[in-house]
Structure 1
Amino acid sequence: MARNKEFDYTEKLEIARNMFWEKGYNATSMHDIVAALGINRSSIYDTYGNKHNLFLQSLSNYATLKENQYLKAASAKETAIDTLEYIIRDVVRQTLTDNKACLIVKTIFEVAAADKEIKNFLIKKGEVLQSILEKYIVQAQKDNSIKSSSNSTVIARYVLSSFSSFWSHYILTQNKEEVNEMVDFLIEQLKK
């Protein structure tokens, strides 16, 4: 007879996610994972698979959080341009509050170039976030609150790539005011 798991799957996954987020994929060992989760190695392998599979599940968990953050922000405003502005400011505020880069951004720089499976996963998840932005960009272009006739996909990609730029500037300067000025500039450019 199979034994019931004596731990909460999601709770332990979130602990692993936060450890990968803090230390990075390469610096996190299976020993670190066992110690942080407080369960034995065989239970980890039985439940989550190897370190790579656990990392993918952690990324998936995080990507769902980000998607929900975008969707929640989108439901908070009435106009498309206000929604875009709210999403951008909310993502940057969360990054500065957490005082760490988005796990997806961190993984792009640390792992994606060398790991095709993770790269493909990140591309798919990025497309989800991009499509949320695109929806509101198209609406804002239709109601003329975004005057640019540039392709909505290009604009959405630009906004997403700006998030890593904001974070890199903050790492170097520790100046939230400068980052917020950059955010203001991005939003101003969207409205032109």
Structure 2
Amino acid sequence: MARPRQFDEDRAVDSAMRAFWSSGYERTSTQDLCAATGLGRSSIYNTFSSKHDLFERALRKYMREKNSGIFAVLDGEGSARDRLRALLWQIIDAPQDDPLGCLVVNATVELGPHDERVAELLRADFERRRSALATVIAAGQGAGEIDGSRTAGDLAQFLIAAIGGMRVAARGGAEREALEAIATVALSCL
């Protein structure tokens, strides 16, 4: 008879997510995952089958959590420009206990080019964010508050790149003023 699990699986995925977010996939060892989750090696492999499986679950959790914050802002009150500004300021005002950078950006660089399963997750995530941004931008263009000379899709892709760049800059040690300058320039391009 198998023993019942004595741990919170979601909490373990969250802890693993933070470890991968801080160190990347390759640099996060099984021992690092044991330390982060408080689980033994056998519990990790019995529950998640592999480091890669745990990484995929952690990446999905990261995407769900970050996207829920993005979509809440984009679906919120105010003009399109105000909502886009609020989205950019989410990066500037990131919670102090979040690791710096972005797990999606890290996974795109580290695994995207050669791991088809991760690449598919990343493509689907990108399209959800691009579509949501394009919808808000198109509404702003219709209201005359956002320049209509570029497509909403192109501007959405630009904002995704700017947000990713801001997260990379933050990880590299950029001060708040530098992040605010990037956000301000990005808004001026709309």
TM-score by length of 1: 0.89
Matched, 1:21 2:21: yes
Aligned twin of 1:146: 146
Aligned twin of 1:106: 106
Q: Percent sequence identity over matched residues? A: 26
In the superposition, relative to structure 1, how do residues 31 and 106 fare at CA in structure 2: closer, same or farther (>3 Å)? same
Where does 1:2-81 land on structure 2 (aligned, <5 Å)? 2-81=2-81
In the superposition, relative to structure 1, how do residues 182 and 5 fare at CA in structure 2: closer, same or farther (>3 Å)? same
**Larger proportion of helix:** 1
In the superposition, relative to structure 1, how do residues 48 and 97 fare at CA in structure 2: closer, same or farther (>3 Å)? closer
User: Which digits, 9 at most, give the CA deviation of each residue in 1:60-111, with x for residues without a partner?
Assistant: 0000011111122224422222112211221343288846111111211222
Structure-2 separation of matches of 1:178 and 1:33 = 33
Structure-1 separation of matches of 2:120 and 2:174 = 32
In the superposition, relative to structure 1, how do residues 36 and 92 fare at CA in structure 2: closer, same or farther (>3 Å)? same
Aligned length: 190
Report the residue type matching 1:110 in the other structure. Answer: E
In the superposition, relative to structure 1, how do residues 29 and 97 fare at CA in structure 2: closer, same or farther (>3 Å)? closer
Aligned twin of 2:156: 156
Contact 2:21 2:99 in 1 (8 A): no
TM-score by length of 2: 0.90
Task: Mark the runs of 5 or more structure 1 residues left unpaired by the alignment.
Answer: none
Structure-2 separation of matches of 1:70 and 1:151 = 21
Aligned twin of 1:94: 94
Secondary structure, counterpart of 1:112 in structure 2: coil
